[in-house]
Amino acid sequence: MISEGPAIGVLTLFTEGNNYLDFSNVRFRYNKIVFIEEYDLYYPVDLTITAKLEDKKLELRAWSICDPYEYIDKFKGNGFYKAFIMPEMPGKIKGEYKDNNRTEKLEGDCKIEVQRQPSKLGHNSMIIDFIKPPKGVGISFDFNSHYLKKKIYTKFQLAPNLKIKYHF
C-alpha cells in the first residue's frame, strides 16, 4: 500500500483579501488507515500534507473526529472494478505556514473525502528497498498479494557481511 509520497496536482491556500498561493511539490503521509474487508481496500482517516513554494512551506495534519460514512456504489456485471467507494468524515485540521518573514499557525474544521475503486485483484503491494551505507549494501523485496494469498520477503545483503534472508 502506498502510505506516503508525492501527491498529484497543486495545493491552493487562500489568504486574506481573496489572494491565494498555489503550492507545488505536495507530499502526503497516512498516519492512520481503515480497512474495508469486503472490498480489500484501505483509506486514510488521519493524514499529513506538506507543500513548498519557493521560500514558503506548508504543513497540515487532518484527522477524523468520528466514524466515516462509507458511500458504496457496487458496479453491476463482471467488470474489473467492484465498486466506487467514497468515505466521508468530518474532521479537524491543524498546521502551520512558514516563509522567510513569519510563521502562522493554522487550525480549523475540515471534511476528509477519499475516492477509491477496488479491483477484483484486491490489495497488492511490492516494496523494493536498496540498502545503502552505513546500513550495508544490498537489496530487499517485500511482496504482499491478498489476491494470491501470498506474502514473500527476500533480502540479499553483500556488506558488511553476506546475508540472504527469505520468508514465504
- For the chain, domain boundaries: 4-66+89-113, 124-167
What is the pLDDT at residue 17?
84
pLDDT in tens, 53-75: 999 999 999 999 999 999 999 99
Instruction: Judge whether 126 and 145 are in contact, CB under 8 Å.
Output: no
User: Are the C-beta atoms of residues 97 and 107 closer than 8 Å to each other?
Assistant: no
Q: Is 33 exposed, middle or buried (0-12, 13-18, 19+ CB in 10 A)?
A: middle
Q: With 70 as the cut, is the pLDDT of residue 117 above it? A: yes
Cis peptide before 160 (omega within 30 of 0): yes
Q: What pTM was estimated for this model as a whole?
A: 0.78
Per the DSSP assignment, residues forming a β-bridge with 29 are: 4, 48
Higher pLDDT pick, 37 / 78: 37
Q: Mean pLDDT across the stretch 100-117?
A: 95
How far is 141 from 164, CA to CA, in rounded Å? Answer: 12
